[in-house]
Structure 1
């Protein structure tokens, strides 16, 4: 299997540093402001967001998972599906670290051999469990607990 590079842009400051590496990135998870930086334009509508995502696909990124301010995520697969998933109804204590949980769930699900849509749903469940704890790493975070939330995503 060809190696695949997964990248979380981490911050608006660091997002710009990966622009010249886009052709080598298989899966990218920016926030909406980070996507604006990578695209080079403000995003003020769904049409802008779609244009930005498609521009990054043209540069080589195969899968994008755009983390939105309301905790929903916009998914786009090059030459494939584009869809929006909202977070499952679940206790929220602290959102800090939820996007990290999302990325962990995404990579885990991919390594388990799941397809694009199933990996997206699993990652949303991981993020929801991450938000349910006051600590950065929820001690109840596990694949089994995430799988129990997947039907609600």
Structure 2
């Protein structure tokens, strides 16, 4: 669980920030308390991981950083069975999206301090993304705005079951999510509790960034089969990965036809250095492995209102579960419930996304 910092501890932290080599007696004098009380507070701060040894190096890892895509989602819903090569009566919904941005918003709605690192255009869509993300609780102060490209756009056509039939992603703007931008924000990103990458970055920038932050806890969202290959050379630097079956095959080189193949793919990833492997299997559930415990958790059958943001909510659920040090089965259960909650809304992000609603969904899953 996340440790709570007391007011007195905050006062001590501020003193130490100003003078890392301050003595306990000097802290006691400044706060008008006994040296023995200061010693107890220092011990508690060390146990909580806030400070590390002499001279009291402050660990300011208080946030999650998400590095990846932010764009506008345009989603079309047909009223009846989708007819190819024809005009279909239906509805069109416009909303802010992007894999990385969606993960970040879900994390923020779950109460996590979340910073987004991405690029948008100097246009109304870019302004809308920043404004709506900030209103959801995300820190968008480090987002880069560029004039050379329009804000990324994702166009999806759903079928009569509200699942994706085809989509087009116009993402050339992410060429501007470059090394210079990463280097500029290096210090704040390096202070993250967890860093989440999606593979919308150009391959050289992606691999450079992953190597740059390899001492942090890194999570990977593979985005698509093609983009997943950008992570192949650095896959072992990730703490947690969440590919689907096709992406897992591409990254491991192992064809997955059955449970034994999943075990072999997971063993490959663990051998490379990955701690937690989650392979999403659609309606069949999720395969999970941490090298010690492994299995498949079946999915609850539902008719989604919109499946577009389900994977992003699942990833956010995994990150939140890691922050709270859950066991692997509980991580899957929490993430799966987040995914179900996401699919129960017509919006890509369910505005009712919260820890309490996820826990209620878990209770419903267990009762059924």
Same fold by TM-score greater than 0.5 = yes
Counterpart of 2:339 (choices 115, 124, 127) is 127
**Mapped partners of 2:216, 2:326: distance in 1:** 16
Q: Which moved more, 1:88-97 or 1:132-141?
A: 88-97
The runs of 4+ residues in structure 1 deviating greater than 4 Å are none
Compute the displacement of 1:41 (Å).
3.2
Q: Size of the alignment, in residue pairs? A: 152
Which protein is richer in helix relative to its size? 1
Structure 1 unmatched runs, 5+:
none
Q: Helix, strand or coil: the match of 1:70?
A: helix
Map of 2:327 onto structure 1:
115
Which protein is richer in strand relative to its size? 2
CA contact (8 A) 2:334 2:362 kept: yes
Map of 2:311 onto structure 1:
99
Map of 1:145 onto structure 2:
357
**Mapped partners of 1:99, 1:117: distance in 2:** 17
- TM-score of the aligned structures, taking structure 1 as reference length: 0.91
Q: Helix, strand or coil: the match of 2:352?
A: coil
Q: Does residue 25 of the first structure (1) align with residue 238 of the second (2)?
A: yes
- RMSD of aligned residue pairs (Cα, Å): 1.7
Alignment of 1:40-59 (within 5 A): 40-59=253-272
Structure 2 unmatched runs, 5+:
1-48, 50-214
CA contact (8 A) 1:88 1:149 kept: no
- TM-score of the aligned structures, taking structure 2 as reference length: 0.39
Deviation track 1:65-96 (CA, whole Å, cap 9, x = no partner) reads 10113251111112x11011122355621211
Deviation track 1:39-83 (CA, whole Å, cap 9, x = no partner) reads 1132222211211111111111110110113251111112x1101
Q: Helix, strand or coil: the match of 1:113?
A: coil
**Mapped partners of 1:75, 1:39: distance in 2:** 15
**Mapped partners of 2:220, 2:361: distance in 1:** 25
Q: Which moved more, 1:119-128 or 1:45-54?
A: 45-54
By relative contact order (CA 8 Å, sep 6+), the higher-ranking structure is 1
